[in-house]
């Protein structure tokens, strides 16, 4: 573990770059599940995608910066956004473990386009249309929301450790 911390101290730009690449890989996997496998994302999945994209953006901007202040700000914002994403993933995991009797996560795509004018339907499309409590896919016993929670917690831990390590070195 000490070797990892030393590497983070010596190559923070590379560490931030790896986090950004991991986020992009996770986003691409989500798009694969949506467009190739055919899983419909729910509104909470869409929020998690936005949070993941923001973590990737923060990590990429911090990787591009050479100054300690940029790394501090990037790590702090990355940690806050990752914790927000972890909260949404935890809430979705809770809904999957204890599904409500009445599901109210949103409408399907075609129903929105047929019912609402285009200027109101387009924002609704980005909210997702699947059931937030439905489990469509699992890996090693964990749902997408469970794995998303684990990833967000890892990114938050990275941001907090990087913030702590950068703040204590001058």
User: What pLDDT, on the 0 to 100 scale, is given for residue 109?
Assistant: 47
Q: pLDDT tens digits for 115-138? A: 666 666 556 545 555 566 566 766
> Greater confidence, 77 or 134?
77
The CATH architecture annotation of domain 2-168 reads: Up-down Bundle (1.20)
**3-class DSSP state of 65:** coil
Q: pLDDT tens digits for 15-64? A: 888 889 999 998 898 888 788 887 777 777 788 888 999 999 998 888 88
Q: pLDDT tens digits for 78-129? A: 999 999 999 988 887 877 777 666 555 544 444 555 666 666 655 654 555 5
Q: What value, to the nearest 5°, has the Cα angle with vertex 47 and ends 134 and 22?
A: 100
> Greater confidence, 3 or 59?
59
Number of Cβ within a 10 Å radius of residue 99 = 14
User: What pLDDT, on the 0 to 100 scale, is given for residue 45?
Assistant: 79
Least confident interval from 10-14, 61-65, 157-161: 10-14
> DSSP letter at 35?
I
Tell me the pTM: 0.71
Rounded Cα distance, 18 and 133, in Å:
32
Q: Is the pLDDT of residue 167 over 90?
A: no
Dihedrals phi, psi of 50, to nearest 5 degrees: -60, -45
């Amino acid at each position: 573990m000490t070797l990892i911390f030393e590497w983070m101290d010596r190559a923070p730009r590379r560490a931030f770059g790896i986090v950004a690449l991991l986020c992009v890989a996770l986003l691409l996997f989500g798009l694969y599940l949506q467009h190739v496998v055919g899983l419909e994302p729910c509104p909470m999945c869409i929020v998690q995608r936005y949070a993941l994209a923001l973590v990737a953006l923060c990590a990429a901007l911090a990787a591009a910066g050479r100054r300690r202040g940029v790394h501090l700000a990037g790590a702090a914002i990355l940690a806050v956004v990752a914790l927000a994403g972890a909260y949404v993933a935890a809430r979705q995991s809770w809904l999957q473990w204890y599904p409500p009797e009445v599901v109210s996560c949103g409408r399907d795509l075609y129903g929105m386009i047929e019912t609402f004018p285009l200027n109101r339907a387009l924002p609704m499309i980005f909210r997702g249309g699947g059931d937030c409590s439905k489990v469509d896919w699992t890996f090693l016993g964990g749902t997408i929301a469970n794995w998303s929670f684990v990833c967000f917690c890892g990114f938050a831990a990275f941001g907090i450790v990087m913030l702590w390590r950068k703040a204590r070195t001058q």
